[in-house]
């Protein structure tokens, strides 16, 4: 009796899977133009969201890569390498997983006031550019950031010295960010 119920359940299960697979194959596939239009619509939506995020001045660029002025690039933990803007306050931090450094996370932390904020939009290429200064206790930093509609962000930071460092990553809201700020470097 049990084997008959088991065989019946197996046959019913196979029939259900067959029906589902036929229905999945019967759905219309999008044409190339429809895919292109859908992508364009999604990018326009992303552009609007990122524009709103930058206009509120409440965001974090979580860096996945750091690049020096010679083009040398290194993968970094995004939780401790970031540029954060919260209204008129900002934080610029580098760090490593070793935890050895001035700020307790293997690098330096500059915390200060955001000044000279300039936001420009390129609707044709769907990218945004932000320029601002971070006036901190360890120096003044000029930050030039570009963000495209796919949320790929690059921020080039130049300070008191001749070098430049570029943070490459993505933008996040302050509430959704998982960054850890080390001790401010004095």
Residues in the chain: 186
- Alpha-carbon distance of 138 to 153, in angstroms, equals 25
- pLDDT tens digits for range 144-186: 999 999 999 999 999 878 889 999 999 999 888 877 666 666 6
Provide the pairing of β-strand 127-136 with 139-148: antiparallel
If one compares 33 and 152, the residue with the highest pLDDT of the two is 152
Report whether 61 contacts 153 (CB < 8 A).
Answer: yes
- pLDDT tens digits for range 67-101: 998 989 999 988 888 999 999 999 998 888 776 76
């Amino acid at each position: 009796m049990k084997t008959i119920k088991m065989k019946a359940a197996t046959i019913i299960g196979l029939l259900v899977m067959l029906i589902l697979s036929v229905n999945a194959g019967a759905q219309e596939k999008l044409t190339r133009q429809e895919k292109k239009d859908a992508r364009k619509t999604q990018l326009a939506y992303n552009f609007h969201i990122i524009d709103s995020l930058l206009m509120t001045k409440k965001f974090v660029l979580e860096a996945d890569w750091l690049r020096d002025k010679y083009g040398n690039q290194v993968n970094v933990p995004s939780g401790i390498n970031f540029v954060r803007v919260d209204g008129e306050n900002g934080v610029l931090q580098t760090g490593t997983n070793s935890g050895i450094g001035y700020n307790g996370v293997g690098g330096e932390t500059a915390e200060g006031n955001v000044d000279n904020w300039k936001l420009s939009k390129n609707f044709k290429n769907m990218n945004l550019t932000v320029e601002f200064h971070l006036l901190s206790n360890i120096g003044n930093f000029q930050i030039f950031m570009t963000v495209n509609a796919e949320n790929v962000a690059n921020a080039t930071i130049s300070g008191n010295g001749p070098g430049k460092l570029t943070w490459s990553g993505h933008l996040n809201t302050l509430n959704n960010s998982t960054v850890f700020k080390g001790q401010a470097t004095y």
